Each structure stands twice: as structure tokens, then as C-alpha cells.
Structure 1
Amino acid sequence: MAKKGKSVLNPSKKIFVLDTSVILYDHDAINNFHEHDVAIPVQVLEELDNFKSGNDTRNFEARSFIRLIDLASKQKIISDWIALAPPNSGKFKVLLNEKPSKTDAEDIYGKGKTDHKILNAALSLKEEYPGSKVILVSKDICLRLKAKALNLNAEDYETGKIKNVEELYAGKTELYNFPETVIDLVKKENLVDVSKIDLPAKDGNHFFLLKNKRKAANVFYNHALKTISSVSTEPIFKIKPKNIEQAFAINALLNPDIKLVSIQGNAGTGKTLLALASALEQRRDFRQIYITRPIVSLSNKDIGFLPGDAKSKTDPFMAPIWDNLRFIKEQFNGDDKMVAKIDELISTEKIAIAPLAFIRGRTLTKIFFIIDEAQNLTPHEVKTIISRAGEHTKIVFTGDIYQIDTPYLDSESNGLSYLIENAKNHPLYAHITLHKGERSELANLANELL
């Protein structure tokens, strides 16, 4: 006898079974499969129940999904297929503890593990609807491999992923054999209307290295004004750019017309140091300098496992930021007045260094906001942070998309890559990728050879 709800499905549609990792990545995932149907194993709801308390982003995602399902179900039974809210969407249901009659994942992989119960839920659905293609969607590579070993279709959650990360926008272009007359004009006038010169068309703000055999000019193209302006290589707050990429980064960080900046690069390229020095250079223009980073423990345990109060728990994760601030202070050795001023900025919390979870729910007005290690954020987290920006706020994301510590994120699906790809043509945004390491020759050896 056909199970209740089976007849409502269109055999030509696909049925996507989502696991917990997908929901914690994007609570709105069930609405992103167009006309196809979506199923959630009951074990996913049980795991989300364990995640719903706390201030971390995954806790927020869990709570948001639970509310979303509650709103969608209303008075309906969610173990039956119910229509999703967006127009032309498919249907949704929760899969209960049903065992497949043919292939049993728990018999093969072991009993008691939630992942194996999720596999069984998908296998049961495959048996129940032989005319539909059932696909398990998971951010967990091992779970996808186990599914494929059982002849069950499995794929990553693709929403928000960058298709070709190797071609990700870098923010700069080198132009060779550029007319000397234009290079001379830029150096003379500093600001030049691009209608007067032959410059490749760009849809957003961009940096150019204009080169000739004997001369060169480094410029910023302002897409809104249709002008190019010379980029300075002068130091800021006693931090001098060591290469032209760093000078481009400083230009974007100091530009009052640019409200959103991203800096991507390997360890040792100076991302965080440049952002912090630029913030201090503009300290009078902002009410507060806020520096944060997502807390990702190598053991993936919550900071609640650590001893002490909130500050004691989070200080180890914030240590790299304090190291950069200490380095800047060292540049003022002998200038007791400036060292005292920096200490005062810290003691009065004009400079605030705290974990990202601590800013949830706040509106950031007249803040210079630096988010370090942004590659450990999801696209939804990046969107949430930017949506907190109030008037006269500048937001800076720094990170290395190839050095990710968060489970289920990679160079294609992390929030920093997502931001670079999707914001590159916006008039308020500028990006630069730093390639050359400046920490030390030894650090460069690690990046280049190991």
C-alpha cells in the first residue's frame, strides 16, 4: 500500500534530502531547490535541537530553521508533504525513523550513528519513490562518499559557491606599453578623467599598474566618477607599504568613498596589519575601531570548554590581533606620547577587540570594523555582518581563502570568496589580493615550497 503523501509528488521532480551541515550553513536552504521537493530526516531536527542555544552563528542558523519550519507547517502534519512558501517551489516533509527494506546503512556502517540513520532515511525515500531521483545533500564529504558507496546520489550544497575560485577577482590589472603621455599626466594632475585615455572597461572600482619601458604609474579607477587617481606609497601610522599591492590596500582602506573593503592573501602578506594601521590613522573619523574574528577552535569545541570568564576564554583566539597592535606600538618606541595614546585608546575601548559572536544584534554606527580570518565565515554570516552597518561605518574583511579551519567550508563556499565574487562591481566596494609575503623570508619559504 502506498504511504500517505506519496501520490502528491511529480515523478519528474528530484527529491533532495538535506543533512544537518547544510542547515547550519544556510537555514533557508529548503527554499533554494526551485520546483524540486525537499526532505529532512528527523535526526536532523534532533541535532538542530542541540544547536539552538548559544550565540554562535550555527546556533542562530538552527533557531532560524526551526522557526521557518514552524511557520511553514502551521496546522499541518510535517510527516506529510506540504507546500513550500515561495512561488513555484516544491514540497517539504520530515522523514521519520523508517528503515529501507533492501540496503540498510546501519547494517553496513554500524548502528547508533546519526549519519547512518540519515542515510537510511534517504534510502527509504529512494525505495518509496523509484520514479524520482533522490539526492542526499551534505557539506560532509565523508557522508557523501558513504552515500555513493550505497548507490545513493549525493552532492554538496552549491548555493553560494564560487564556480572557479582560481579566477576569483583579484582587484588589480597590469597594463604594459601604456602611453607615456598618460603616465606623465597622472603624475602631474593626480586625478584624470578616463574619457581622455584608453583604459580597459571595468564594471567596478579597480586598481591598475600602468607600465611603459621607462615609466610607471599606480592608479585607482573610481567607477562612479569615471576617474583614475595616483596611489601613494607613503607610510600610514609608521607602517610603510612594502609592495604596490599593499599600497593599493592602504588606498582602499583610507578612501572615504569606499565603505566595504576585502583583502585576500596568504599568511604574512600584511592583511591585518594594514587594516589596523589604516584604522588608527583615521581614528578621529570614527567613534570606535572594532576588530574581531570568528572563533574556530582546532578541536572544534565551544569556548565554554575553556576555563575562566568570557575575556579569558576568548583572549587566546584574539592573540594575533594583539600581536599586530603590539607591532604598531613598537614603531613608536621613543615617542611616549603616542604610545600612551594607543594605550588610552585600548583602555577606553576606542579600540575594541572581541569575538564576532559578541556583536550579534548590534547596529554599528560610525565604526571602523575589521573582520579578520573572514574565510571562516559562511556567506550568510558575511551578509549578516554587512547588514549591521549603520551610517558612516566602514567594514573591512581580511583572510586567506585557502586556509580554512571551519568544517564544511572550502575555498569555493566560504563567505570571503562569496563577498569578493558578488560585490566586485558595487560602487562602495574595493578589493585587493596580496600575493607577496612580507613577514620574513622563512615565512615565504613555507608559502612557496611546503
Structure 2
Amino acid sequence: MKRIYVLDTNVLLQDPRAIFSFDEHEVVIPAVVLEEVDSKKRNMDEVGHNARETSRIIDRFRQIGELYKGVSLPNGGTFRIELNHRSFSKLEEIFLERTNDNRILAVALNLHLEVKKLNRNQEVVLVSKDILMRVKADALGLAAEDFLNERAVKEDSIYEGFQEWDVSAEDLNKFYQEGKLSIPDETLNRLYSNEFIVMKNKWNPSQSAIGILNTNRNVIEKCRFQADNAWGVTPRNAQQTMAIELLFRRDIQLVTMIGKAGTGKTLLALASGLMQVEDMGLYKKMLVARPVVPLGNDIGYLPGEKEEKLKPWMQPIYDNLEYLFDVKKAEDLDRILSGLGSIQVEALTYIRGRSIPEQLILIDEAQNLTKHEVKTILTRVGEGSKVILLGDPYQIDHPYLDEYNNGLVHVVEKFKNSKLSGHVKLHKGERSSLAQLSADLL
């Protein structure tokens, strides 16, 4: 059965190419959606970019034919701008206000009633990222769907970066003695590059070892870096040990780490970065950045120079640095950082157009980045640099992202079979017992 998909504005503001995602079916955009897209085109952010890109795509369709009549799509479907079916008579007793959302609902409902009246073998489906919009559509007897094409993963299947195996005592002893363990081809096909294996004696689970897949030799190897003290920080659990391995490996140029608040992502990354930059001299500089996305109401413009404006946004970074440098006053930390000169704290706003060679680039709160923004960051990386992306996919502050379509999860899924990247999901909170309990219960 062919369908008529009526797109809400938020679908296009998330993905301008959503028009091409509905195969042989008919895609309809109500005229009010164009008005909403037009109102966003001057925004100097990802939403504004997507609004402008949507406008360009629709303008190219205009060269093909008359949009109100419909034009053909490359995938066999059709696309049109709906100028009719705007009557509010069927909705005015249910939803009194003529808001833009209700105007979009009216178009979808009137199309549905027309198809039903003409007895056509079609279904009208409203596609929206807005949950309440879908609820209202359902209450009207309309089919409604979320736009899932941008999801990098299905629910609860985010790649964790490690597996747990039950092995024999002989294999475990062999791994400890030789530092490696051969694996059969059928097992190798179920592993990703640089994936960790937690091996446990199946008869005595207290005996265990951590290895990492070497795809060049098709073996599980011992971790190279058993860092007991990375700038004063010692890994406290198996996943933190895996993180240390990834953070210190020069051949792994992209590291992604996800985990709840308090699992030690930022502290481990900063500690290993300081050690590699200051003590080992492996990189010229450490660039630390995070997206500027407020939690709750925005506090507006901030006074002062760029550094003063950035300070509130970057405070979580400074909190960790104060712990690592063991200082109690912000002035002391500022003096240390200005003296070192090798640590640069920036907002991601300033990264476009740069080329960043021989630097350790640490991006915190990367779950608030879109797929496009992550691509912009990774394409800035010069020769000899390493990128570390940190975040918690379940703490999203961006209005158009969720735990399945944010930039961090996209990178985890797209790069999990690359020899240049490594990933680990941290499970256990180490900040405090209260922080761990809060992360679990709330």
C-alpha cells in the first residue's frame, strides 16, 4: 500500500534530506512548514544551517516542475507542497487555537478524510519528532510515526567496546605466559577492531584478564599500558583500565568514551593528556573543548573577554584540572595554565576552518553535537593529532537530538570497525556513592 507522508517542520530541521527517505511513497510538506523553516534560516547554528539546506533542496525541485502539483523523486516517490486541505473546520471544536502544529494536523487530517472518501488504497501518515504532535494525531485517528532514519543504533544496542568470555584455565594461563591468545576465524568475525575481551576462568570467575583484539595478527593481546599512575590518577575498574589503554595508544587516533556521570571519563582523559603532553612530549598541545549548550534556561550574554565568557561553560573542565593540579583557588590554576602554555580550553564555536596538527584534542559532552558538527571537528584533525570524544548519550541538552541520533553515538557506530579508533563504555561510577546512586535511580 502506498502512503502519503506529511512531514512536520522538526523533521526537516533535523535532516534536510529527509524528503528522500520514503522510497516510492508520496511526501507532502504543508505550506505552514515552509513558513516555520523560513523563520529559522537566519539562525547561526545547526538548525539555521538545516533550514537553509532545506530551502536549497526545495528550490532545486522547483526547476523540475510545479511544486503544488508534485515532482518525481529519484527513489520513485513524489514530492509536493500542499496548498489546499488547510480547512480548520474539522479541528476547531477539538483544538481551539490555530497554532502552526494544529495547522499541520489539519492538513494531514483533511488529506486522510479525502483519501477515505475517494476510497483510495492509500494511508496518510504524519511524521514528527514531536511526541505530543504524534499523540494528538493518534487521538484524531491519524497514523503517526517518529522519523528514525537519523538513528545510528536501535534502542539499547550502543556498542560497548568490550565482551566478556568464559575461558578455560589453560587458555587463561597461556594468555598470561605468552601475552596473547589465538582465536578461531568464526570468533574473529564477531569482533570489532580494538575491541576488548574480559576473559574469566569459567570454573573460577575470580581469575580474569583483559585483552585487546589485534586485527593485524588475529589474536587477543595483553594491554600495553598498565598505567598505575597517570598524572596522579589510577584506574579503579576494568573499563577504566581499557580507557587508559586507548588513551595512551599512539596507533589509535580516535577514542570514544561514553558513560554516566561520575564514571571518570573527563578525569581519565585529562590526566592521560597531561602526561602525554607535559611528561612524555608526544603532542605539542592539548586542546580541550565542549559544546556551548545550556542546561535549563540560558543565562544570556556574559560580560568580559572571550576567556571570561567561556569560564562558566568550561567550569567542569576547570574542576577536573583543579583536582589534577591539587590547587584550591581558581587564581592558582589560572597561573599554572598560563605558565604551562600547552593546555588550551576553547569553545567549539571557534573550531571551523582550523587545521590542528600534532595536538591532543579532547571534546567533552560530545553527545550534544550533531552528526554534521562531529564531522566538522574530525575533519579539522591534522597529521599526528589524536581526538578523544567523551559524553553520556542519556544526558542530552540539545532540543533536536536524542540518545540514538547524536553525533557521539554516530561516531561510535561508524568507526567501531576501524583500526584507527577505539571505544569503551564505562559502567561503574567512581565519583561517590551518592553520585552513582543518583545516576542509577534518576
Fold conserved between structures, TM > 0.5: yes
Summarize the Cα distance change of 1:197–1:117 in structure 2 as closer, same or farther, 3 Å threshold: closer
Select 1:161's aligned residue among 147, 151, 168.
151
Question: Aligned-pair distance for 1:207?
Answer: 0.8
Aligned AA for 1:315? K
Summarize the Cα distance change of 1:197–1:417 in structure 2 as closer, same or farther, 3 Å threshold: closer
Task: Report whether the alignment pairs 1:113 with 2:82.
Answer: no
Equivalent in the alignment of 1:320: 316
Task: Report whether the alignment pairs 1:140 with 2:130.
Answer: yes
Which range moves more in the overlay, 213-222 or 57-66? Answer: 213-222
Select 1:123's aligned residue among 109, 113, 136.
109
**How many residue pairs end up in the alignment?**
427
Separation in structure 2 between the aligned mates of residue 111 and residue 273 of structure 1, nearest angstrom: 50
Summarize the Cα distance change of 1:286–1:149 in structure 2 as closer, same or farther, 3 Å threshold: same
Equivalent in the alignment of 1:194: 182
Aligned AA for 1:38? V
Preserved CA contact (<8 Å) 2:361 2:385: yes
Question: Aligned-pair distance for 1:252?
Answer: 0.9
Separation in structure 2 between the aligned mates of residue 233 and residue 165 of structure 1, nearest angstrom: 35
Summarize the Cα distance change of 1:312–1:44 in structure 2 as closer, same or farther, 3 Å threshold: farther
Separation in structure 2 between the aligned mates of residue 88 and residue 199 of structure 1, nearest angstrom: 38
Summarize the Cα distance change of 1:188–1:177 in structure 2 as closer, same or farther, 3 Å threshold: closer
- What is the alpha-carbon root mean square deviation over aligned residues? 3.1
Separation in structure 2 between the aligned mates of residue 307 and residue 449 of structure 1, nearest angstrom: 38
Aligned AA for 2:146? D
Separation in structure 2 between the aligned mates of residue 363 and residue 94 of structure 1, nearest angstrom: 42
Summarize the Cα distance change of 1:256–1:241 in structure 2 as closer, same or farther, 3 Å threshold: same
Question: Aligned-pair distance for 1:300?
Answer: 5.9
Return the TM-score normalized by structure 2. 0.85
Aligned AA for 2:209? A
Task: Report whether the alignment pairs 1:72 with 2:55.
Answer: no
Aligned AA for 1:96? L
Separation in structure 2 between the aligned mates of residue 113 and residue 308 of structure 1, nearest angstrom: 40
Aligned AA for 2:198? L
Task: Report whether the alignment pairs 1:403 with 2:392.
Answer: no
Select 1:368's aligned residue among 360, 367, 378.
360
Preserved CA contact (<8 Å) 2:287 2:362: yes
Separation in structure 2 between the aligned mates of residue 175 and residue 235 of structure 1, nearest angstrom: 28
Separation in structure 1 between the aligned mates of residue 113 and residue 307 of structure 2, nearest angstrom: 53
Preserved CA contact (<8 Å) 2:394 2:403: yes
Question: Aligned-pair distance for 1:166?
Answer: 2.5
Unaligned runs of 5+ in 1: 1-11
Return the TM-score normalized by structure 1. 0.84
Summarize the Cα distance change of 1:341–1:319 in structure 2 as closer, same or farther, 3 Å threshold: closer
Summarize the Cα distance change of 1:300–1:152 in structure 2 as closer, same or farther, 3 Å threshold: farther
Preserved CA contact (<8 Å) 1:16 1:37: yes
Equivalent in the alignment of 2:233: 239
Separation in structure 2 between the aligned mates of residue 363 and residue 35 of structure 1, nearest angstrom: 42
Summarize the Cα distance change of 1:62–1:365 in structure 2 as closer, same or farther, 3 Å threshold: farther
Preserved CA contact (<8 Å) 2:88 2:106: no
Which range moves more in the overlay, 316-325 or 371-380? Answer: 371-380
Question: Aligned-pair distance for 1:139?
Answer: 0.9
Equivalent in the alignment of 1:392: 384
Separation in structure 2 between the aligned mates of residue 51 and residue 310 of structure 1, nearest angstrom: 27
Separation in structure 2 between the aligned mates of residue 331 and residue 247 of structure 1, nearest angstrom: 26
Task: Report whether the alignment pairs 1:30 with 2:26.
Answer: no
Equivalent in the alignment of 1:3: none
Summarize the Cα distance change of 1:101–1:436 in structure 2 as closer, same or farther, 3 Å threshold: closer
* 1:146-205 deviation line (CA, Å, top 9, x unaligned): 11111121111111325543232211122234334x444444454x36259997651332
Alignment of 1:283-362 (within 5 A): 283=277, 284-299=281-296, 301=298, 311-330=307-326, 342-345=337-340, 348=341, 350-362=342-354
Which range moves more in the overlay, 23-32 or 381-390? Answer: 381-390
Separation in structure 1 between the aligned mates of residue 184 and residue 336 of structure 2, nearest angstrom: 46
Separation in structure 2 between the aligned mates of residue 100 and residue 205 of structure 1, nearest angstrom: 58
Question: Aligned-pair distance for 1:128?
Answer: 4.4
Select 2:164's aligned residue among 174, 191, 200.
174
* 1:399-441 deviation line (CA, Å, top 9, x unaligned): 1122222224332333333333333222222111111111012
Summarize the Cα distance change of 1:300–1:96 in structure 2 as closer, same or farther, 3 Å threshold: farther
Matched residue SS, 2:192: coil
Separation in structure 1 between the aligned mates of residue 141 and residue 365 of structure 2, nearest angstrom: 38
* 1:67-93 deviation line (CA, Å, top 9, x unaligned): 222223226432231123xx3342212
Question: Aligned-pair distance for 1:322?
Answer: 1.7
Equivalent in the alignment of 1:259: 253
Aligned AA for 2:338? D
* 1:119-159 deviation line (CA, Å, top 9, x unaligned): 12222333444432121111110111111111121111111
Separation in structure 1 between the aligned mates of residue 399 and residue 302 of structure 2, nearest angstrom: 20
